[in-house]
Amino acid sequence: AQKVTQAQTEISVVEKEDVTLDCVYETRDTTYYLFWYKQPPSGELVFLIRRNSFDEQNEISGRYSWNFQKSTSSFNFTITASQVVDSAVYFCALSADQGAQKLVFGQGTRLTINP
């Protein structure tokens, strides 16, 4: 069975601080995909990144970066120089089962950036 754990339920930081959201996953599959989604207050789900299990390269996109470590089954997300617009709920998700399109989501982390 697959499982995703986001241990941080809520995080609150002051603008311009760096913040890391943790994600730990469990799967027996050797091939899988990991995702991060952002859910702003308006409620929609915004896709941020997809990473397959064979690509452990870290990725950076502007102020966002992702650290994938298979050895610790983690896929952490860092926001550098946070901004108020980054305030949202962030979900980590896993797709395994031979690549089936079913996503298993973590519980979500509510991030609040205070001005």
Q: Which range of residues in 12-20, 59-67, 76-84, 104-112 is near another protein by CB under 8 A?
A: 104-112
Main-chain dihedrals φ then ψ at residue 85, nearest 5 degrees: -70, -10
CB distance 37 to 49 below 8 Å: no
- Minimum CB separation of residue 11 from another protein in Å reads 15
Residues 45-74 that bind another protein (CB under 8 A): 45, 47, 50
Which one of residues 58, 70, 83, 99 is an interface residue with another protein (CB under 8 A)?
A: 99
Chosen residue from 75, 106, 111, 113 binding another protein by CB under 8 A: 106
Q: How many residues does the chain have?
A: 115
Residue with tokens 């799967």: 27
Do the Cβ atoms of 25 and 2 come closer than 8 Å? yes
Q: Is 30 in the site for another protein (CB under 8 A)?
A: no
Query: How far, rounded to the nearest angstrom, does the alpha carbon of residue 92 sit from its chain's CA centroid?
Result: 4
Strand segments, DSSP code E, in 23-63 are 24-26, 33-39, 46-52, 59-61
C-beta of 87 vs 95, nearer to another protein: 95
Residue 44 contacts another protein per CB under 8 A? yes
91 binds another protein (CB under 8 A): yes
By the rule CB under 8 A, 4 interacts with another protein: yes
